[in-house]
Amino acid sequence: MSNPSLANTLNHQVRLASRPVGLPTDANWQLTQETLAPPGPGGVLVKTLALSLDPAMRGWMNEGKSYIPPVGIGEVMRAGGVGVVVASDSPAFEIGSHVAGGLGVQAYCHIPAEQLRKSGLSRIDLRLGTLTQWLNVLGMPGMTAYFGLLQVGHPQPGQTVVVSGAAGAVGQTVGQLARIKGCRVVGIAGGQAKCDWVVKELGFDACIDYKAGQVKEGLRELCPKGVDVYFDNVGGDILDTVLTRITRGARIVICGAISQYNATSAVQGPKNYLSLLVNRARMEGMVVFDYADRYPQAIAELAGYLKDGRMISREDVVAGGVQAFPATLLKLFSGENFGKLVLKVADE
């Protein structure tokens, strides 16, 4: 290890202790600590500065086939994060350089040489965006928004785009990007404060407060020509309601279904799916990793919007280190977070 100050440093980790039924509880987690080992030949040691908390994490905790394998019992919980290289035997990662990647819920992440490529660890340029923006607009949520909206949703100028979870990490970028591309944009979010922010700060044309229970009426009033693209982060009743308002040839991007992730009974299927038939419409799933080759192009475009002020980025940063992970994660499912939920792990 080329950094003597790390000798005898403890690494704190949050591991999956058991698979949750419904909302995760403390019993599903195990906090461990171990002494840091120096990186082996070609390896890199990253100090975690901040972690991304994502609804998809709930799915990774379940057993069974999905788009990536589940987190194993006893393993460090999977998480994307940003950090700084504190020890390195790799010429690609100098000590002091900032990186993003799958660091896991731990204070330090050691990536051996043979996993460097697969891990997707990459250097980040803080001139393009702040550390937390690299977990938001310039990170996975931004990539998901960019490719989901443009490559699956195919919005055309003048069309109406509706996005649920509008004040969340993916939703905020979907809506702003749709606006920049010349669409009418209507958000769906929980609570008046979020809706106000979505309209006043993000520049959406309108936003429907689903907690007020008037989604159907809101869509009728605010999308008089119907919904051409629906970017769905929530599933459940909201998906079903939007299905009643789609236009002929509409595209529904299935990005997530946060309303269903903690369901202990069967997932609620969209009972209005035959609207797809009547309207010759399409419902299509997307997984951001498929577009990894094109992240640089998306990052460049989105960083440009941040720089010229056409796009803003809001993060809800919670302090507390990795120990605060179990409690902080729950904010996602109560809808408590406002903007991209980030766990601050350490100062640089």
Point out which residues bind a second copy (CB under 8 A). Answer: 65-67, 235, 240, 254-257, 260, 266-287, 290
Q: Are 346 and 175 spatial neighbours (Cβ–Cβ below 8 Å)?
A: no
The phi and psi torsions of 204 (rounded to 5 degrees) equal -60, 155
128: its two tokens:
């393009």
CB of residue 260 vs a second copy: minimum separation in angstroms?
7
What span, in angstroms and rounded, lies between the C-alpha atoms of 122 and 139? 11
Burial per residue of 141-175, b for 16 or more beta-carbon CB atoms within 10 angstroms, e otherwise? bbbbbbbbbbebbebeeebbbbbbbbbbbbbbbbb
Give which of 128, 46, 41 is closest to 79, Cα–Cα: 46
CB of residue 66 vs a second copy: minimum separation in angstroms?
5
* Exposed / middle / buried, residue 279 (Cβ in 10 Å: 0-12, 13-18, 19+): middle
User: How many Cα atoms within 13 Å fall on the side-chain side of residue 163?
Assistant: 33
CB of residue 267 vs a second copy: minimum separation in angstroms?
5
What span, in angstroms and rounded, lies between the C-alpha atoms of 162 and 204? 10
Query: Closer to a second copy at the Cβ: 163 or 306?
Result: 163
Query: Closer to a second copy at the Cβ: 225 or 280?
Result: 280
CB of residue 170 vs a second copy: minimum separation in angstroms?
13
Query: Closer to a second copy at the Cβ: 67 or 320?
Result: 67
CB of residue 221 vs a second copy: minimum separation in angstroms?
18
CA 80 distance to own-chain centroid: 9
Query: Closer to a second copy at the Cβ: 240 or 316?
Result: 240
The phi and psi torsions of 58 (rounded to 5 degrees) equal -60, -40
CB of residue 38 vs a second copy: minimum separation in angstroms?
39
Query: Closer to a second copy at the Cβ: 55 or 80?
Result: 55
What span, in angstroms and rounded, lies between the C-alpha atoms of 285 and 295? 19
Query: Closer to a second copy at the Cβ: 250 or 345?
Result: 250
CB of residue 224 vs a second copy: minimum separation in angstroms?
15
What span, in angstroms and rounded, lies between the C-alpha atoms of 71 and 16? 7
Query: Closer to a second copy at the Cβ: 157 or 266?
Result: 266
CB of residue 222 vs a second copy: minimum separation in angstroms?
19
Query: Closer to a second copy at the Cβ: 123 or 271?
Result: 271
Single-letter code of the amino acid located at 347: D
